[in-house]
Amino acid sequence: MAAVADNRPARLVVLISGRGRNLDAILRAIDAGTLHAEVVLVASNRIRAEGLQKARLAGLNVVSISPKEFADRESYDAALAKRIAAAQPDWIVLAGFMRVLSDAFVARFAGRIVNIHPSLLPKYKGLHTHQRALDAGDAEHGASVHFVTPTLDDGPVIRQGRIRITEQDTADSLADRVMAQIEQRLYAAALDDLVSGRVVWQDDGVYRDGRRQTQPLVTDYD
């Protein structure tokens, strides 16, 4: 997927399950003019997600689809995909969406789904990333924005943000710092890479400014 053709704002569908702090940061970047995009739909698997309420108050188009109403992951994902496709997105932005997407869903929007994960991938895929970084005695921790493939937290990385772990850090303080210092800036920067066409994912890897990215771009945020 390249930059949008006629310089119109990129159409983003944002998927959330929780507080929606990443969604907030994306909306702020759009308002500030640093991200040429519009959020055309916010979708959630949790009817009571705090972020959904905030999105509603902000006047955004929202939809919640509860998995309880579906027999299996495939039928849930098919319903979700239908709503998303109707919004005609350029990009599908997973922002704290706590569900694994089926292969069929990923294939339908191949190359157009991105995710933010709170670790320096490929380290610590899955849950409890902050505690795992502490347990391992890591000196640094961070977050990654990556393209989504059918394997969880596994697609090519677009950008990473990094901070130093301090002796005082607990899993909670680290989670707060990764959110406040990194995630609040990283997603908008990575989306800007994509909507501007500076970063493209081709068969043999991720290209930044025409050059194949052998290492993800890492920014230090402390």
Here the tokens at position 70 are 């579906």
Residue 194 beta carbon to ligand GRF: minimum distance, rounded to whole angstroms: 18
In terms of CB distance, is 51 or 89 closer to ligand GRF? Answer: 51
- C-alpha–C-alpha distance, residues 184 and 151, integer Å: 25
Residue 29 sits in the site that holds ligand GRF (CB under 6 A)? no
| Omega cis (within 30) before 216 | no
Residue 108 sits in the site that holds ligand GRF (CB under 6 A)? no
Alpha-helix runs per DSSP H in the chain: 21-32, 50-57, 73-86, 103-108, 129-135, 171-177, 184-195
Residue 183 beta carbon to ligand GRF: minimum distance, rounded to whole angstroms: 6
Residue 202 beta carbon to ligand GRF: minimum distance, rounded to whole angstroms: 26
128 is catalytic: no
Residue 181 beta carbon to ligand GRF: minimum distance, rounded to whole angstroms: 12
Kindly write down the DSSP assignment for every residue of 75-136, as one continuous string.
Answer: HHHHHHHHHHHHT--SEEEESS--SPPPHHHHHHTTT-EEEEESSSTTS--SS-HHHHHHHT
Backbone angles phi, psi at 19, to 5 degrees: -75, -25
Instruction: Candidates 14-22, 38-46, 57-65, 155-163: pick the segment binding ligand GRF (CB under 6 A).
Output: 14-22
In terms of CB distance, is 89 or 118 closer to ligand GRF? Answer: 118
140-147/113-117 β-pairing: antiparallel
Residue 216 sits in the site that holds ligand GRF (CB under 6 A)? no
Here the tokens at position 39 are 């959020």
Here the tokens at position 67 are 């998995």
Here the tokens at position 26 are 């994306």
Residue 91 beta carbon to ligand GRF: minimum distance, rounded to whole angstroms: 16
Site map 146..185 versus ligand GRF, x via CB under 6 A: ---------------------------------x---x--
Residue 21 sits in the site that holds ligand GRF (CB under 6 A)? yes
Instruction: Candidates 11-19, 56-64, 158-166, 208-216: pick the segment binding ligand GRF (CB under 6 A).
Output: 11-19
Instruction: Give the footprint of ligand GRF on this chain (CB under 6 A).
Output: 16, 18-22, 51, 95-96, 116-118, 143, 179, 183
Q: Please give the positions annotated as active site.
A: 117
